[in-house]
Structure 1
């Protein structure tokens, strides 16, 4: 058989066979919609482009109205579709997954994208995706005018009456009433699951809105079928009020999640519950309307749009993880405030904390060289290096010192809080200036952090090398390792790429920290540590409370530091095994290594171009470590708050204006 594009309308209509097996009948319908889509849009009488499928649909209706025999075959074929297909499933089930978790929906979308569907089905929801698979289908369906819509409704009305056993079978409301029953049952069942029921506001559940849904839906169906207009309106209002109260109760779950930790599966279940209530509202509008054709058209358009969205994993994950990202951002916003200096006193505190962090990193530098001298296998060498980094970062954290490169991923969410007031309406200059103030505070804090780290690590490494020379007659770092450092961190090599990759790892550690803290809060481990009988019996109530408070205060920092250290050591080894030879470049660690190399090779090294290329590499490493990690963290923070379409040129322009007018504010604190 030739393709649908090559068929003319006569051949297509003549191929309609109501006595054919089900897959052939459904295949004919699929070819019909392909024929409607074939060709380009044409200009209409008003000069606008009329969708070509609408023009072809009019041509099809004209032909069927002029030719009774083909019309009878098409009507009979559509009649069998009406009688033998599960029409209610299209309105009740399409767009929802049978499983109530995010993993089930991901698997379903992968199946829709990767596996072909069969037309041999009695589920109209499954057939729907084959009939309208293209993104433009919603557009031309919405463009069908009222006259054409009426002619199309008359054709389907004749199809419903074709071979109907009784009036109920031909009633267009029958599948909608069945869909209403199914939707009510699904909404009620979802609301009774422990994950949602236990998190809903008790005040909003006092009048039992979900328990009443079934009774009110049955009463509405009875009144509608009995033709009692007044009672139908009354029951419909009651059902809508219950749905509104149910949505309010479901929305109250978000407040619980904000306080007690986020679960993406709960978020997905909430989204499904809310979407089902909205679908039920649309079905009610259709059932109660005196002119249902336009409402049915809009519902079909919405279903076609949903069909396209259901093939998008990106849309699903972006929607479901946005609230989780927001909670992570909010938790880090609280932490990030400690890394932003606004006064001279805070600036001095940051310098002191950075000096302490640099002192620890100086010891980390020599520990790394010692581990390299052991000649461990690649994986174990990387794992040992990761433990070295993790231990150092944890010591810095516990002593309340700082490593500058860890700041950006923590401070970006705090910056996003300032952007929340930027509306893009031209009346938000104060909000933009507040954001620019925060930018100056952050840049100044980063400069203080880097300066303090480098001011400590360089002289301490040189001092340790000098003491080794004096005590043992040789440096702690051998000449071979020193020469390797000059070769490795030079700007002439892939240092910039490695530094950017390290920025990604810095950002990833902030995600790990947020996830672990959310997991800690969601599972109420703070309360468990404080009140578990065995823990209280062993430690005593006061110590258990202090221990629980310590973990609550430090869980995010520990997760960030341990994950970052292990990633810096292990990830390059794993990537090398996969054939991706990439390394990490951390500005403070690299500075300590360069100081150690120079002191081993002698002061003549300062006169060599290789040394200054390494110094330039350190400058680029610092910029990329900070810039990449901060940029990624800020992007997630902005997305988590739904901030999009901002006038970025206004914001960037305001930053450069401040840089021209007050460059000192980016380097030194206010006097």
Structure 2
């Protein structure tokens, strides 16, 4: 919790008395004391218990029951000041003294925007804001503002300010903030500062839009009008027209400036397009977010200077600007907001790539289902070899880290072999297929959309079943056969009896196997994120083009081979990253956790099935007499369910959030699933026979 929020909460625990506050208002006090008084006044407004606001000017209309307590307290304060001229004079004098010494330009032009051009730098700045206290002894309103509006809920009551309250607050603050004539604002007025802020913001928008990495990614058609070149000059012409009192020229220039802002906004939006070919950078996204936020600030400031003086529209424009500043104060303190905004597009990039890959793991007819079963059988054969190498690594008696490292390398090499052979390991599918299913969720609101989504769910479950069954059908019999062959040829089993006994103790359902299986599901999901990130990094830095066209690559490989290598890496970088990262995590996570005293292990259903088969081959038929063997066997389906379920749930959640989808039609979807289960229960496991095409009439 930031220090300012902590201080505000501590202060709210105390009961601030309005009479004491008004008596403490001293226009002759020092700058810091006056600012502390303002902070305490805002804390008094935030107190959760509302006061009964007296009737005052503009309050004749009945107020809704949902009026925020802060507004009731604000009305009460204004009414008290109207009835007590001595308090009104003290408060007015204090506010005028504050206004005379405070600089508000930085608040209008800079507040709420990142001073760093990288997410890492912005993260450090936000952490500093949360950890280090601010001081009210400042003449910069941008530094004082977060201390005044330190509660995230402030934006709600500021938004609820009506015209009568805005008018009364404006009268208390003085005539300059709201009622200065629209043209020819005097120096030092809020309108003059707003015009200066527009010029500063226009320069910053132009600088951001003309950056090389940004400009090169924008749509050339969006840059045809050269909006970033014209923005600074247009803003300066507007300021000069306003200063000279030329109303017609000011309105004409403001219209032109708004057109340039729309063009700049479209150009910034075009950067987010085409990320499949160019990749995306979170630093670039931060730059675009800041650019569009500054464009919105200019729009808000234009409304404050162009609306007629003294009108309700002008007061409302200042109210909306104040609300946006209060929201910016809350967001600038939030580390979560930084990551949720900047990584949402990267999450979508990863999810869309996973959805594209996941389509290859979904079978929709018997031919594809049988092909998936064959791929799973091949993957199970490789995992059988992985099982024996794992026992061999354990027999070496390495330290925890090196044992985990070589176990991870064993898994990684096995998964890469499966990938290059175009086979499959079933537990890797859910993290890829979940985004593919999420891509279909947008059809729920369409006619017959629920049935199409149900079809996709059925295809997915059926494909996953084929993958798991194929893996287990191959790995267990093959490991057992190799064990028996080794016993027949060498006179003893390949896996020692004490290792087999340890397997029966560790894989049992009576232990923490299910928790470890869920953790493995998290690792499976994490590998899909790493795969998406690696591919985005590969595309962002255009490494495929570098491999294809770099002079050294052309000299070593030749043009034809360099082209083939570039295409191969572009097609396989995601799969290689997923498989290598998953293998290393499966091996190293338990070793690293043990370093911190956490007895964590992984439980992968295919590897567990291979280990259990190896234990059976080592102990022989005597293992069938032990309850421990059957408890291990009972744990296998639950291990597979948790591997698949946790990985799928996490990937599905990320895919939905990255697309901004909120599935409100869950009841319809569940009803359609239940109906399909009653009507065609076997379709979830076995693809139905294709209907023969209708013969043409007379054939």
C-alpha distance 287-395 of structure 1, shift in aligned 2 (>3 A)? same
Distance 1:597 1:232, change over 3 A: same
Mapping for residues 82-121 of structure 1, pairs under 5 Å: 82-121=99-138
**CA separation of 1:84/1:344 partners in 2, compared to 1, >3 Å: closer, same or farther?**
same
Check whether the contact 2:524–2:647 (CA below 8 A) recurs between aligned residues: yes
Query: What secondary structure is seen at the aligned counterpart in 2 of 1:620?
Result: helix
Query: 2:164 aligned with 1:147, yes or no?
Result: yes
Q: Alignment partner of 2:343: what SS?
A: helix
Deviation at residue 571 of structure 1 after TM alignment: 0.6
Any conservation in 2 of the 1:447–1:667 contact (CA below 8 Å)? Answer: yes
**CA distance in 2: counterparts of 1:638 and 1:198, whole angstroms:** 30
Query: How far apart are the structure 1 equivalents of 2:473 and 2:125?
Result: 56
Alignment of 1:331-342 (within 5 A): 331-342=353-364
Change (3 A) 1:8 1:396: closer
How far apart, in 2, do the equivalents of 1:477 and 1:27 lie? 75
8 Å Cα contact 1:78/1:159 also seen in 2: no
Contact 2:96 2:174 in 1 (8 A): no
Matching of residues 489-504 of structure 1 within 5 Å: 489-504=507-522
**1:519-547 Cα distance to aligned partner (Å, 9 max, x none):** 11100000000111011111110000011
Q: Deviations over 1:157-197 (max 9, x none)?
A: 25879xxxx97245331111111111111111111222211
Is 1:381 matched up with 2:407? Answer: no
CA deviation string 1:439-461 (max 9, x = no partner) = 11111111111111111111211
Superposition pairs for residues 298-337 of structure 1, below 5 Å?
A: 298-337=320-359
- Which of 132, 137, 140 is matched with 1:123 structurally? 140
User: 2:452 — aligned with what?
Assistant: 434
Deviation at 1:67, TM superposition (A): 4.3
Match of residue 582 from structure 1:
600
Matched, 1:414 2:450: no
Equivalent-residue separation in structure 1 for 2:369 and 2:193 (angstroms): 69
Cα distance in 2 for partners of 1:467, 1:167 equals: 95
Which residue of the other structure, out of 504, 515, 518, is the alignment partner of 2:533?
515
Which of 291, 312, 315 is matched with 1:293 structurally? 315
1:146 is displaced (CA, Å) by: 2.4
Deviations 1:504-527 (A, max 9, x none): 111111111111111111000000
Inter-partner Cα distance in structure 2 for 1:631 and 1:457: 26
Distance 1:599 1:92, change over 3 A: same
What secondary structure does 1:302 align onto? helix
CA offset at residue 148 of structure 1?
A: 3.0
Aligned to 1:364: 386
Separation (CA, whole Å) in 2 of partners of 1:374 and 1:645: 52
SS in 1 for 2:272: helix
Does residue 1:471 correspond to 2:489, yes or no? yes
User: Could you say which residue in structure 1 is the equivalent of 2:413?
Assistant: 391
Match of 1:199? 217
TM-score, scaled relative to structure 1 = 0.95
From 76, 84, 87, the equivalent of 2:93 is 76
Quick one: distance in 1 between partners of 2:411 and 2:257? Answer: 61
Aligned residue number for residue 24 of structure 1: 33
Instruction: State the alpha-carbon separation in 1 of the partners of residues 185 and 562 from structure 2.
Output: 72
Secondary structure, in 3 states, of the residue corresponding to 1:94? coil
Residue of structure 1 aligned with 2:367, choices 306, 321, 345:
345
Give SS of 2:222's match: helix
Give the TM-score, by structure 2 length: 0.91
Name the counterpart of 1:48.
65
| Residue of structure 1 aligned with 2:679, choices 656, 661, 669 | 661
Which moved further from structure 2: 26-35 or 520-529?
A: 26-35
By how many angstroms is 1:204 displaced? 1.6
* Residue aligned with 1:254, SS: coil
Match of 1:403 in 2: 425
Contact 1:43 1:50 in 2 (8 A): no
Q: CA, structure 1 residues 405+645, in 2 after alignment: closer, same or farther (shift >3 Å)?
A: closer
Label 1:124 to 1:669 Cα distance change in 2 as closer, same or farther (>3 A): same
Counting matched residue pairs gives 662
Change (3 A) 1:8 1:411: closer
Pairing of 1:536-575 with structure 2 (within 5 A): 536-575=554-593
Following superposition, the deviation at residue 46 of structure 1 comes to: 4.7
Q: What is residue 278 of structure 1 aligned with on the other side?
A: 296
Q: Distance in 2 between matches of 1:631 and 1:232?
A: 56
Give the 3-state SS of the residue equivalent to 1:255 in structure 2.
Answer: coil
| Residue in structure 1 matched with residue 181 of structure 2 by the alignment | none
Give 3-state SS (helix, strand or coil) of 1:401's partner. Answer: coil
**Larger deviation, residues 365-374 vs 139-148:** 139-148
Q: Is the 8 A contact 1:79 1:159 kept in 2?
A: no
**Per-residue deviation, 1:323:** 0.9
Unaligned residue ranges in structure 2 (runs of 5+): 1-9, 54-61, 179-183, 690-699
Distance in 2, Cα, partners of 1:384 & 1:101: 37
Change (3 A) 1:647 1:43: farther
User: Quick check: 1:42–1:51 contact (8 Å CA) kept in 2?
Assistant: no
CA shift, 1:435, in A, is: 1.3
Corresponding residue for 1:651? 669
Alignment partner of 1:177 is 2:191: no
Distance 1:654 1:314 in 2: 37
Tell me, in whole angstroms, the C-alpha distance in 1 between the residues paired with 2:115 and 2:643: 45
Bigger mean CA offset, 369-378 vs 113-122: 113-122
Post-superposition CA distance 1:542-592 (Å, at most 9, x none): 000011111111111111111111110001110111121110111111111
Q: Could you tell which deviates more after superposition, 46-55 or 292-301?
A: 46-55
- Pairing partner for 1:443 from 439, 461, 481: 461
Match for residue 47 of structure 2?
A: 38
Residues 488 and 3 (structure 1), Cα distance of their counterparts in 2 relative to 1, 3 Å cut:
closer
SS in 1 for 2:161: coil
Distance 2:125 2:668 in 1: 43
Moved more, 139-148 or 179-188: 139-148
CA distance in 2, matches of 1:530, 1:159: 64
Match of 2:22 in 1: 13
Q: Decide whether aligned partners of structure 1 residues 341 and 379 sit closer, same or farther in structure 2, where only a CA change above 3 A counts.
A: same
- What pairs with 1:117-266 in structure 2 (closer than 5 Å)? 117-157=134-174, 168-169=186-187, 171-266=189-284
Which ranges in structure 1 are unaligned for 5 or more consecutive residues? none
Change in Cα spacing, 1:422 to 1:86, as seen in structure 2 (3 Å) is: farther
TM-superposed CA distance for 1:51, in Å, is 3.2
Partner Cα separation in structure 1 for residue 562 and residue 161 of structure 2:
69
**What is the aligned partner in structure 1 of residue 654 from structure 2?**
636
